[in-house]
Structure 1
């Protein structure tokens, strides 16, 4: 059933709206500065919509893993610099509520808000109750607002986070409305369209490292796509599973076991690279292009030139392209060609092009093609889980449209 959206919240003049955003952005390890603001930019349409409607906004997000951080690392995980970047991009002042997530300081900051004001709560994970779906913690946050908006698709699959589940449940108990933001609404619309009635021919492109992490996703894709092109490190998993020597490329036995049941699709729906770039493990400047076994001491780092051309042609012929996972070690310029050229081919496509979040989204943006795709998901893990058909407790808390 369709979920309520911003337009279903009614008159918001003078109302305080609690918005769960995904500001879990990459930070500079030394300075704590925001290195990539894509996720903040993605939330701006919802925030601006609420402000234009006369509301004030209480934004909240987690940032990193403070529970596993050293004291020095934890100091960089406050929301101060995120608030500064958020303010810069929004074009209006954003105040960080207090140094604690909930408490007297937060209550006072929210009480002083006027229409058009924006407050950002401290890193939710600074309070251990956030990841325990704690009801008391959730009630304290819920009491701050008149309505709740989930605009954090990237964390929709985190069913134990209080901000995603227990907080909207507490607002429901208080008779307050709950809706999805513009970002989440678009994500759901795009993914549901892909799964229900994608325009044919449908092409899947799968990269990244682990087959085992994406086995359910791959199996779902195989029921939807006409072809599934393989790249990234999982290339060598499939090769090893087929008995091909992969040289010094590290492929775990569990990955080979995961790929085994998929081998029956190779040559029909699953397409493997015909060549690949390999580099000397102890000297990455020594590279060559291989077809077949990888020489001893070399490891696979990218798809090869013949494969790039074949994959580009497949993208050009497809009406729908779904891409998840880089096709090589794209962080290294010398091994980024496969990922870059496929992103370029997708950006030039006249079909529907969807990038499945995570590193794939980072790559598309790094090469300057993100804005030329039909949709770039903000949630890697959430994208995979939703396509797999998993039910999200976070979305179950949102009011259904009648």
Structure 2
């Protein structure tokens, strides 16, 4: 059963956790949005496709933000509790620090399940959809937006120039079009017009109003000029290849697919190693959620007299370094190394370090891991400071 202390701890963790997830995801999405808008505009695609692409990138960003959110949420919550003397009151009531880990483990279990669903199933499908959207943009399957004041190629052997474009090409003004074929060319000018869909997905209709058509046929002695109030021209779109099926690389496979295909002899040795490395990385990524609270709690507990906030920086730095090294371990597995001597060994070292800090806070009287870290940093930085003073003395 969840008692009042458990609910209080979860309440203190929830706000910084949600805030961190929201801010991190928003920053990552905004940073990517600028490059996606630039890419879509250069490809001539509709602007609303950017939001579809961002929606398919969101599971990837959430997978990055969840571990950071858990770490910062727990660290900030226990820093607040320890600075307000609530931590001392809870400990004095007979509730030890190991007992306070129960609600955190429940939260870690929930986030681990969410993360497993994200990295195991949602991300492979969303990554595939994202790449399919890029393919469709480059192939023109999404429909090129009309770039005003520029000559653009529409279909086969058709050049179009438009002075004004509204409603994604449904309303065009100041139109010039030239179509060339084996017999000659046709030049058309019109006051207005627009593109409309047809029953054939490979054909679109260009409807023109109030214009002139000049037929420059080589078999004729002189050009034939035709004035019209309305003229419909069917334009056949260039054929394109269908996008490939999902799979073929580890990032587009679900966890069960990776488990099955990593021993499939139909794949090359390098591909099987890539499947194996990514499979172990995804398992490790989810299990790490159960270790993060044991690092975050001692990084959050601080001395009320000093009020040092270095634990937040140190904890976040350790998690970032751990993730960077883990990506290197996955690369090593792709090169032929054993996942147990790389990925799981690093996971073991991270677990040992986290439990070491937690043991100091939980079972040592007055234990404060940050004091050990500060002492270690002072030992390392002392020679550097002495060298800096000597250099400054020589320069003076």
Q: TM-score, normalised by structure 1?
A: 0.19
More helix by share: 2
Q: TM-score, normalised by structure 2?
A: 0.20
